[in-house]
Structures are given as C-alpha cells and as structure tokens.
Amino acid sequence: MASQPEIEWDEQERAWMLALALYRERTCDGCGRDLAETTEHDAEAYRVSPPHRCGACTAIEISQDAYADAYKSSSARMGATRWRAELR
C-alpha cells in the first residue's frame, strides 16, 4: 500500500498568506494605518481625537490591582490569570 502526502498549503491558502504578509508589510505597527498614506504626510496633517476609556478594561484593571495586593506574598502568577468583565 502506497501513501501520497497531502499538500500542506493549497493555492488558496498560499494566496491568503501572501495577502496577509503584504497587508502587514504595508501597515504601520503603531497606528494600523496604511504606510503609503502616513509616510506621505507630516504630523501636522493629522488630527488626533481625544482618548476614550473602556469601562470593562478599567474594571478589570481595578480588580487585578486588588487581587495582586491581596495575594502579594502568594505564588500566584498574574500573567497566568484570565479576567472577564460582564455588564451588570
């Protein structure tokens, strides 16, 4: 009985990965905008909106701080904890 190896990436999968690589190459890591546009203008060409705060992220951060304070001497690892906020 002979076996035939499967193709790991077909044409469609390769096309998607090439498109993703091109997108990442052409996108600013900082702001997520198209580099062709953002490198064409200087900083004065852009207006920055005021920041906004995510209430769920704020609640999670407050809980994380309290948890870290309560278990400071414990061997609990904050990086291993998972948090979820639910709307009341």
Q: What is the pLDDT of residues 17-72, one digit of tens each?
A: 999 999 999 999 999 999 999 999 888 899 999 999 999 999 999 998 888 888 77
- Residue 65 belongs to some domain of the structure: no
Q: What is the pTM of this model?
A: 0.49
Query: What is the DSSP annotation of 15-44?
Result: HHHHHHHHHHHTB-TTT--BHHHHTTS-GG
- Residue 69 belongs to some domain of the structure: no
- Residue 34 belongs to some domain of the structure: yes
Q: How many domains does the chain have?
A: 1
CA distance 46 to 17: 32
Domain of residue 27: give its range: 11-45
The answer to whether 68 and 60 have CB atoms below 8 angstroms apart is: no
- Residue 25 belongs to some domain of the structure: yes
- Residue 20 belongs to some domain of the structure: yes
- Residue 16 belongs to some domain of the structure: yes
- Residue 70 belongs to some domain of the structure: no
